[in-house]
Chains A and B, each alone.
Chain A
């Protein structure tokens, strides 16, 4: 039972296709984060929203990646022209009551063939 849901949970796509993931906080959370995790590594920060404002993007987020959070509620992460190196777990997190605490959703596992 997490404070965010993510859809889809699994996505298999062919190289070159576009994919979009969605993160839905169950209740209102001002702070929302996206991370990416590859096998054997810890999650890596991608981007951060304070309400609807995107305050930071990691250099990991190439021009093929875009994230939005319209109206400060749900968020989407789109990857254009997917590459095999994009295969990873994409995790959404929300900020907890203590400023730096973050709680993760179940993730979307992307496989690019």
Chain B
């Protein structure tokens, strides 16, 4: 079983739609969680951290469910520019090694 699992998608949604991605992780001792965004053939870019209390940044909301060991990302009012691969990230036991999921691809169509 992979340490971090994501639905690869693609999620194909119209502009303005709300879309949600989930991610599950296997190590219950993990303490830090992130979502990164990666455009085609570019480096991953930090989108947001995921806190136990949940956090929101504009149209993006991240949630953490420690009991079920899953992380979610909600994107409201999707824009064409949101089309990308979204990577779920868990910090490993060593507290500095990022463990990435394989990513979920989002396509936003006009």
What is the interface residue range for chain B against chain A? 20 to 34
Q: Which residue of chain A has its CB nearest to the CB of B90? A: A100
| Cβ–Cβ < 8 Å partners of B4 in chain A | 42
Return the contact of B42 from the options A102, A103, A106 (Cβ within 8 A).
Answer: A106
Chain B, 2-43, contact with A by CB distance < 8 Å: what is the 0/1 string? 001000100000000000000000000001101000000111
**Interface Cβ pair total, 8 Å cutoff:** 63
Interface size on A, residues (CB 8 A): 28
Assuming the A-B contacts A43-B44, A104-B44, are A48 and B101 also in contact, with contact meaning beta carbons closer than 8 angstroms in the complex? no
Q: Is B95 an interface residue (CB 8 A)?
A: yes
* B2 to A: closest C-beta gap in Å: 10
Residues of B within 8 A of A (CB): 4, 8, 31-32, 34, 41-46, 49, 87, 89, 91-92, 94-103
Ranked nearest first, the 9 interchain pairs of A and B with the lowest CB-CB distance are A42-B100, A104-B43, A100-B32, A45-B97, A100-B91, A43-B100, A42-B87, A107-B43, A42-B102
A-B contact pairs, 10 of them (CB 8 A): A40-B8, A41-B100, A41-B102, A43-B87, A43-B100, A45-B97, A48-B97, A56-B96, A100-B96, A103-B45
